[in-house]
Structure 1
Amino acid sequence: MAQALGEDLVQPCELQDDSSSLGSDSELSGPGPYRQADRYGFIGGSSAEPGPGHPPADLIRQREMKWVEMTSHWEKTMSRRYKKVKMQCRKGIPSALRARCWPLLCGAHVCQKNSPGTYQELAEAPGDPQWMETIGRDLHRQFPLHEMFVSPQGHGQQGLLQVLKAYTLYRPEQGYCQAQGPVAAVLLMHLPPEEAFWCLVQICEVYLPGYYGPHMEAVQLDAEVFMALLRRLLPRVHKHLQQVGVGPLLYLPEWFLCLFARSLPFPTVLRVWDAFLSEGVKVLFRVGLTLVRLALGTAEQRLACPGLLETLGALRTIPPAQLQEEAFMSQVHSVALSEHDLQRQIRAQLAQLPESASGPPPRPQARLPGAQAIFEAQQLAGARGGTRPEVPRIVVQPPEEPRPPRRKPQTRGKTFHGLLTRSRGPPIEGPSRSHRGSTSFLDTRFRSCF
């Protein structure tokens, strides 16, 4: 079972360290003026040039052309060729096209189209003072080394303030959750504020409902599901975590709530998001299982972590060389966890929840498993409301006229030489050659058009 989780890890020694792009509170608040930004916008980062595992330029151009073709006919693509979309997402969406692809995958473009002017009204309205104060205290913590969020008066922090404020007004019963900050910040690195807002809405309400509310009931349920999957897929690691007293709520919320934005090198974060927006929460479980195996998968690693603090430290300090995007995502997609397995485990854990638990019960049925389910739900909702997006019209030709039965020549008792002799004489009984030729496929098609 350990082999199903990709135990043979490829670890090239020359891989570059992208850990400087992690957005943590311990990062420097003021970068030096001489430091340059890498290709992702992080000042002083080490991703100025693509690493050894990065695909060559000609392959990137080919993938870009495929995505341009798929997104140009998005409804047709999702209706007939979703498997191709999923495989392209696993390979990684080209950086130049994430702004185009992410809203399509999560359905934010439909939400924005169906609610014109909503974001502008929310952005211009005054926010709740309680939430505005909390959001204001968190702004400087979101990727402080990214060029968008360096200045408190810059467009990055101000856009983040508007997006988070708009969500508290859009869903006042949920308000603001601190983990929404890094999620919205990553969206703003790629999208305008309005599109980032609707993507945030889809993540909070469709991909991860119950995660960012006041009770976080879905997070607690998924923590139990994660431990059950550990027990099945990594039994030795599960036993070690129980022995040292490390429960899933000590490390899993930061991973899942922030979509690993604070836990992985930024190039790998983007690859995780590509797959997550395509396949749903299943990807988060696969990534979490892969991280636990990388940190505690061997007996030597577990012996080096005799207590709670050492184990948590191992989970949070995995060497960046093991988190390089290509090798890491290859292991993630090899985890033996299907959507059916995940839903079965969710139902099992949901049945074991105590009835006396405080807060509302989790509603995992409200969570849609990825882009295909979201597309189908929006198509169905559009058909019921009379605003179904226009799809290419399929023209079906009328059926062909049935051919008359062909008469078999009378050849019984006659030799082949006799047949040749008769063919030179008067024609045999039956339809004429010209009549037989008029019943061909092409003649029938042309005749049916008149």
Structure 2
Amino acid sequence: MAAADGIPPSMAGGFGPGEVQKSDLGLSAEMLDLSTSALEISRLGLEESETLSPSTITFSNCRSASEDEEPSECASEDEKEFSEHHSGYSAVGCDEHGKLKMRRKSSKTLSTKFMRKLGMKSSSSSLATAYGVNDGKFKEQLEDQYAEIWTKELLPNWSRKQGCSKVRSLCFKGIPSQIRGQVWCSLLGNKLNITADLFQVLCEQAEKSREAYEEEKEHIENADGDVGGFGGKAEELLLKAISTHKMILLDLPRTYPELEIFRNENSPYRQHLLEVLEAFVCFRPEVGYSQGMSFLAALLLLYMEPADAFMAFTNILTSSCFVNFYRMKMPEVKMYMYAHEKFFKEELPSLYSHFKKLGIHPEMYMVKWIMCLFCQLLPLDCTCRIWDFFFLDGDVAIFRTGLGILKLLEKDLLKMSFEQIAYQLSHLPPNIDEDELMRSVRSVQAVSNRKLKDLLKEASSVYRKQGSKNENP
């Protein structure tokens, strides 16, 4: 992830005064009046009188499939409609059981049009809000222009450009939805060297394991006492595999229940979600599967091919603070809570005192917020904006976002009782505005990479001393 010790105060307050001429964005005179900073626009690569046409974005790792390939005759009208509804896939026939077979089209991600059907706003809404305009056509044009900056200037020169201020500024404005997956992958990197071939091998391994324990589970469930021929360890592992598979299957329809693509058993997205989760269990059996993981994987699948989503998912969960939380490693989890509490006290002293007085501890809300990376708490649009920030800054983004949420809700929280706060922090307001949230997050000054490292080191020393006292009373 791109390294940065927090955001300079000059960036936190938005743009300075100034006007942008319509020609700055290559727009006609009929477009709405704009009020923003011409200097900022030029920094982002849109020089005066420069016209940028929307780019055609292609990806080398997209599966090949004809855009106008027709479904076979055995596909019903309903199945064809389902295929069209899930833009990005086409029906190509039925398998031996009569189930519809789907193939991903060459488009890397869900289309902007389909995003709207899902109830998600295009990132152009956020970009346009930053410039104070509301015209729908302009929003789309603006998003296309930002996408072109990413695809023509930044991503092709990533080794030189990844740390520049333009990347940071564009990430905070909202990454265009059509290239969000590619940008996320670039920001994250691939330290584990996960490949598409490895993902395929793990998927095949998971499928074989599933078939094996499907055959054996009835034998285990009906057996009295020890299961002959297994041995204690093998039996334990098999039972764990069955339990994990059941847990994943139960969580699939609960993942973003408002999205049909994960509820529908015939949806290719649901199948890919199962594959990513089971592949991860095969890759990191000591971590296994925990509730909440499905939300992380599902959000990645909205923007990436399954192999890329697995790469990102695996790198996220095996680096950063996540592995400690999913394995519930102590005192590591306590160390992160210690850091949050210190940041909280510095950034929001009044609310911190109120929480202390009522007995509201960080473990009551921050653990869940971190483990789901805010997926189960915020609207999808807000979550995607937070993830843009997370892929840019890593762990520090999590703690800044946590404080940003508390800061946004501070006035209301200060009036609440213990029970009201406990409920509010686990059921954030569904109408949180993504731009307001991002402004609140960017205004947080207490958190930086350096401070986080120092506090974790300090917390480690504190808990080591406590451990020594407990061992030698």
Q: Is the aligned partner of 1:92 residue 2:204?
A: no
Bigger radius of gyration among the two: 1
- Measured in 2, the distance between the counterparts of 1:301 and 1:264 equals 17
Conserved 8 A contact 1:182-1:258: yes
One-letter code aligned to 1:199: A
- Measured in 2, the distance between the counterparts of 1:75 and 1:45 equals 35
- Measured in 1, the distance between the counterparts of 2:177 and 2:458 equals 39
Q: 1:158 maps to what in 2?
A: 271
* Superposed counterparts of 1:353-432, under 5 Å: 353-354=463-464
Q: 1:334 maps to what in 2?
A: 443
* Superposed counterparts of 1:187-206, under 5 Å: 187-206=300-319
The farther-off stretch of 129-138 and 81-90 is 81-90
Conserved 8 A contact 1:108-1:195: no
Conserved 8 A contact 1:70-1:77: yes
- Measured in 2, the distance between the counterparts of 1:72 and 1:164 equals 31
- Measured in 1, the distance between the counterparts of 2:466 and 2:281 equals 29
The farther-off stretch of 246-255 and 53-62 is 53-62
One-letter code aligned to 1:73: N
Q: 1:183 maps to what in 2?
A: 296
Closer, same or farther: CA 57–41 of 1 in aligned 2, 3 Å? closer
Q: 1:302 maps to what in 2?
A: 414
Conserved 8 A contact 1:64-1:94: yes
Q: 2:349 maps to what in 1?
A: 235
Q: Is the aligned partner of 1:62 residue 2:145?
A: yes
Give the TM-score, by structure 2 length. 0.61
Residues 392-444 of structure 1 show CA distances to partners (whole Å, capped at 9, x for unaligned) of: xxxxxxxxxxxxxxxxxxxxxxxxxxxxxxxxxxxxxxxxxxxxxxxxxxxxx
- Measured in 2, the distance between the counterparts of 1:144 and 1:40 equals 17
Conserved 8 A contact 2:12-2:443: no
One-letter code aligned to 2:119: G
- Measured in 1, the distance between the counterparts of 2:466 and 2:114 equals 47
Closer, same or farther: CA 152–47 of 1 in aligned 2, 3 Å? same
SS of equivalent to 1:291 = helix
Conserved 8 A contact 2:191-2:315: no
Of 185, 193, 212, 1:103 maps to 185
Of 283, 290, 301, 2:404 maps to 290
- Measured in 2, the distance between the counterparts of 1:287 and 1:252 equals 11
Conserved 8 A contact 1:291-1:315: no
Higher relative contact order (CA closer than 8 Å, sequence separation 6+): 1
Of 45, 50, 53, 2:129 maps to 53
Give the TM-score, by structure 1 length. 0.64
- Measured in 2, the distance between the counterparts of 1:219 and 1:44 equals 35
Closer, same or farther: CA 185–221 of 1 in aligned 2, 3 Å? same
Unaligned runs of at least 5 residues, structure 2: 1-8, 15-81, 87-111, 132-138, 211-240, 468-473
> How many pairs were matched up?
320
The farther-off stretch of 345-354 and 157-166 is 345-354
Q: Cα offset for 1:182?
A: 0.5
Q: 2:157 maps to what in 1?
A: 73
One-letter code aligned to 1:309: E
Q: Cα offset for 1:356?
A: 7.1
Closer, same or farther: CA 155–109 of 1 in aligned 2, 3 Å? farther
SS of equivalent to 2:324 = coil
Conserved 8 A contact 2:292-2:371: yes
Q: 1:124 maps to what in 2?
A: 204
Of 317, 330, 338, 1:224 maps to 338
One-letter code aligned to 2:448: S
Q: 1:345 maps to what in 2?
A: 455
Conserved 8 A contact 1:135-1:164: yes
Q: 1:266 maps to what in 2?
A: 380
- Measured in 2, the distance between the counterparts of 1:252 and 1:350 equals 19
Q: Cα offset for 1:338?
A: 1.8
Q: Cα offset for 1:219?
A: 3.4
Q: 2:39 maps to what in 1?
A: none
Residues 50-69 of structure 1 show CA distances to partners (whole Å, capped at 9, x for unaligned) of: 47737633332221111012
Closer, same or farther: CA 169–42 of 1 in aligned 2, 3 Å? farther
Unaligned runs of at least 5 residues, structure 1: 10-32, 358-450
Q: 1:325 maps to what in 2?
A: 434
Conserved 8 A contact 1:86-1:279: no
- Measured in 2, the distance between the counterparts of 1:83 and 1:70 equals 11
Closer, same or farther: CA 317–145 of 1 in aligned 2, 3 Å? closer
- Identity over the aligned pairs, expressed in percent? 25
Q: 2:254 maps to what in 1?
A: 141
One-letter code aligned to 1:302: L
- Measured in 2, the distance between the counterparts of 1:117 and 1:351 equals 43
Residues 310-357 of structure 1 show CA distances to partners (whole Å, capped at 9, x for unaligned) of: 111233455445x31222212211210221122222222221115676
